[in-house]
């Protein structure tokens, strides 16, 4: 309807009979500029308010993300340590099993050799006794 003039003094000249229209035009151009400023101020305040409200949430989110990264690194380290411990204990158990097998086999051999010696000695004595009885 009315063109928006940047400066009220640049408005086209109006005759005396339209002085009321001139004053309303000046008011309209000034009020449009004031309305823009008011709207700009309102938008700026609203943005600041939203920023103030969201800032703690964003900060907390950032801190939690950093804590998550630290915890995930610690978790990975602990998992690796557990795997190493399992590997070491399994290997140790395997060694113990091998050592136990060797010890058991040696015990069997010693026992067998003692039994053989005993039996040899027993059979030798019995033969000697039989020979002595004959003589």
Q: Which range among 63-67, 78-82, 90-94 shows the weakest confidence by mean pLDDT?
A: 90-94
CA dihedral 32, 34, 38, 44 (to 10 degrees): 100
Q: Which range among 21-35, 51-65, 108-122 shows the weakest confidence by mean pLDDT?
A: 21-35
Q: pLDDT tens digit string along 37-75?
A: 888 899 999 999 999 999 999 999 999 999 999 999 999
Please indicate whether residue 14 or residue 85 has the higher confidence score (pLDDT): 85
Angle at 73 between CA 67 and CA 77, to 5 degrees: 140
Tokens 């010693």 identify what position? Answer: 110
| pLDDT score of 2 more than 50 | no
Buried b (16+ CB within 10 A) or exposed e, 114-124: eeeeeeeeeee
Please indicate whether residue 62 or residue 9 has the higher confidence score (pLDDT): 62
């Amino acid at each position: 309807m009315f063109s928006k003039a940047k400066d009220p003094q640049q408005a086209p000249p109006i005759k005396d009979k339209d002085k009321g229209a001139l004053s309303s035009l000046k008011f309209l151009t000034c009020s449009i500029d004031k309305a823009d400023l008011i709207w700009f101020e309102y938008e700026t305040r609203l943005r600041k308010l939203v920023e103030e409200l969201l800032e703690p949430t964003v900060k907390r989110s950032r801190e939690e993300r950093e804590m998550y990264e630290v915890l995930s690194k610690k978790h990975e380290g602990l998992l690796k340590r557990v795997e190493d411990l399992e590997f070491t204990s399994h290997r140790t158990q395997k060694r113990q099993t091998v050592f136990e097998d060797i010890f058991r086999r040696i015990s069997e051999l010693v026992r067998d050799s003692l039994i053989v010696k005993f039996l040899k000695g027993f059979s030798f004595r019995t033969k000697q006794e039989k020979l002595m009885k004959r003589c």
